[in-house]
Amino acid sequence: MKRIFLIGYMGAGKTTVGKDLAERMKLSFIDLDCYIEARYHKTVGQIFAEKGEEAFRDIERRMLQEVSMFEDVLISTGGGAPCFFDNMEFMNANGTTVYLKVSVQELAKRLEACKGTRPVLKGRSGEELVAFIAESLEKRTPFYTKASIVFDAEVMLTESDVHEISEALENIL
Ligand SMILES: Nc1ncnc2c1ncn2[C@@H]1O[C@H](COP(=O)(O)OP(=O)(O)OP(=O)(O)O)[C@@H](O)[C@H]1O
Ligand SMILES: O=C(O)C1=C[C@@H](O)[C@@H](O)[C@H](O)C1
Ligand SMILES: [Mg+2]
């Protein structure tokens, strides 16, 4: 039985690499953000706006525990999931955790294009976005680095780079 958790900052490629890797490894794929949205019939943005971050983190924790009952599954978590409660210890006790590590500059480049769907980044751009990512990544790194595998996912420019990353991960896992 395999259960893999992909973790890392927003924009690290958890969803993008996760889908490819799960297909390759013949595992079911679950994106925790999408799972929450389907269960609650609301987007993550709506949950943040209507209930606040604390309520979202509570939902996220419960949903993480729910999907962790599934077998032969690859779970891409939300960027913040490993950094609240005992979620990181919980994932390490229930599967193999993989941290997709990407630099601040590269994250900022990727997120500038798609920050609209990430409430945590709302209203931030340019140098302010870079500074925010740098500060929060520093706070989150001690959690992320508790992962069993730390994987450099910096280069991801084309679809074949995504395949390369997931092929390399498949060989480790
Ligand atoms: N193959 C690629 N080439 C270039 N950019 C990419 C590629 N894959 C993903 N990206 C960029 O990186 C962004 C983030 O990717 P993805 O949604 O997989 O990150 P994530 O780790 O799941 O983030 P979150 O924690 O917010 O869910 C994408 O929306 C896209 O802008
Ligand atoms: O890094 C974060 O705090 C988040 C990342 C996303 O995956 C979502 O879970 C949400 O937007 C919060
Ligand atoms: Mg994602």
Q: pLDDT tens digits for 48-82? A: 999 999 999 999 999 999 999 999 999 999 999 99
E-only strand ranges, the chain = 3-7, 28-31, 73-76, 96-101, 149-152
Q: What is the SS3 assignment for 53?
A: helix
E-only strand ranges, 23-172 = 28-31, 73-76, 96-101, 149-152
Architecture of domain 3-160: 3-Layer(aba) Sandwich (3.40)
Residue segments in the chain with a per-residue pLDDT below the cut of 50: none
Answer yes or no: is 11 a known binding residue.
yes
Beta-bridged to residue 100, according to DSSP, are 151
* Atom 8, ligand 1: residue with shortest CA distance: 16
Domain boundaries defined on the chain: 3-160
Beta-bridged to residue 5, according to DSSP, are 75, 97
Specify the pTM.
0.93
Identify the DSSP state of 9: S
Written as six digits, the tokens of 98 are 């993989």
162 lines ligand 2 (CB under 6 A): no
| 124 Cα–ligand 2 center, Å | 15
Q: What is the dihedral of CA 25, 27, 32, 38, to 10 degrees?
A: 140
Starting from the CA of residue 118, give the closest ligand: 2
Q: 10 Å Cβ neighbour count for 56?
A: 23
- Ligand 1: residue of 5, 15, 75 to mutate (most ligand atoms within 8 A of CB) is 15
Starting from the CA of residue 14, give the closest ligand: 1
Q: How high is the pLDDT of residue 135? A: 97
Look up the ipTM and state it. 0.89
* Atom 8, ligand 2: residue with shortest CA distance: 78
